[in-house]
Each structure stands twice: as C-alpha cells, then as structure tokens.
Amino acid sequence: MVRKLKFHEAKLLKKLSLVSWEAGSLAELRVLRRFRLPRREDYTRYNQLSRAVRELARRLRDLGPAPASAAFRARCSAALLGKLYALGLVPSRASLEQCERVSASSFCRRRLPSVLLRLRMAPNMQAAVAFVEQGHVRVGPQVVTDPAFLVSRALEDFVTWAPASRLRRHVLDYGQERDDFDIAC
C-alpha cells in the first residue's frame, strides 16, 4: 500500500513528469511487449508513418477518372508500392490494397531483432535485442548496436555476426567450420 502524496510532492512530480506513462490501448501494449520496444515513442512514430502511408494510398485511390490523373495515379502508386516493397512493409507490388494493411507492427517486423529472430540467429526476442545492443551483429560492413535499425529487403541477406564476436566463434566451432587461421583472431 502506498500513501497518498502530499500537495507539494504531487506538484514536484508534475514538474518532473515521472508519472507520465498512462496505460495505452491493449493493442499498443501487446506490440510493445511482443517486439520488446523500450521506448513508447518508437511505437508512436511507427504508427504515424503507417497512418501516413494509408492516407497516401487513399488519396491515390480517390484521384479522378480523367486520363491524365489515371497515368499519374499509376505512376505514383507504382513508386509507392515499389518503395514499400523494398522496405519489406508489403508482401508484393500487386495493388494499393496492401497499403491499407501497413501498421506499426509492419515496421516492428523490420527491426533488426525481429529479423534476427526470423533468420533463427536468436532463440527469442529478448536475446536478439541483447545481441544487437552488445554489438554481436553486423549489417553489411558495419556493426549495428541500435535495435531500432530497420532492415530493408536488400540488406536482409547481409545480416551476419560481427567478425570479433564470441557468438560467431561459438557458432563456427559448433558447426566445425572454423579455420585454423581464425583461431588466432
């Protein structure tokens, strides 16, 4: 049981805003837990981005039937679908209907720990976040330590262990693929 705060204590807490975490919707809390998002701001940013994508798709769909607007609509929708497909947010470039399904979870699925989990480089999401934060993972030539890094489809093939990582050595030893030259490393 916690005692009721005195007036001056409540006033100080309002200034410090330590108790600014109001419980959001149930869907929001599920996404935060499922993808291990440490900051709620990431979720709100992903939500804003997905809302903007859906709004843009609606505007493209509602353009008039004039021939000039039809050509413009086809060109812009192809560009939008190409960009979203390259980012990995939609499964194919078929139609604008797929843009309606883009959500904050779509962005969360493209985060580096989620990609590690899908590639079976980590046993669970918590371990995947820890591997990224500790610097065991590299994307392309650079080591990434930010779990909020969004991996595109093009970069997904280049997610590997960092060269100096002990996890990499352990995996190579387990598969008996480690070279004698690597033992000195």
**Between 111 and 169, the higher pLDDT residue:** 111
Confidence of residue 166 (pLDDT cuts 50, 70, 90): confident
pTM recorded for the entire structure: 0.78
Mean pLDDT along residues 147-162: 95
Answer whether residue 116 shows pLDDT above 60.
yes
Mean pLDDT along residues 27-35: 91
Give tens-digit pLDDT for 63-81.
878 888 888 999 999 999 9
Which segment, 2-11, 55-64, 98-107, is predicted with the most confidence on average? Answer: 98-107
Answer whether residue 22 shows pLDDT above 80.
no
In the chain, where are the structural domains located?
26-106, 110-179
Whether domain 110-179 has CATH 3.30.365.10:
no
CA distance 51 to 102: 8
Burial of 56 (0-12, 13-18, 19+ CB in 10 A): middle
Distance of CA 76 to the CA centre of its chain: 25
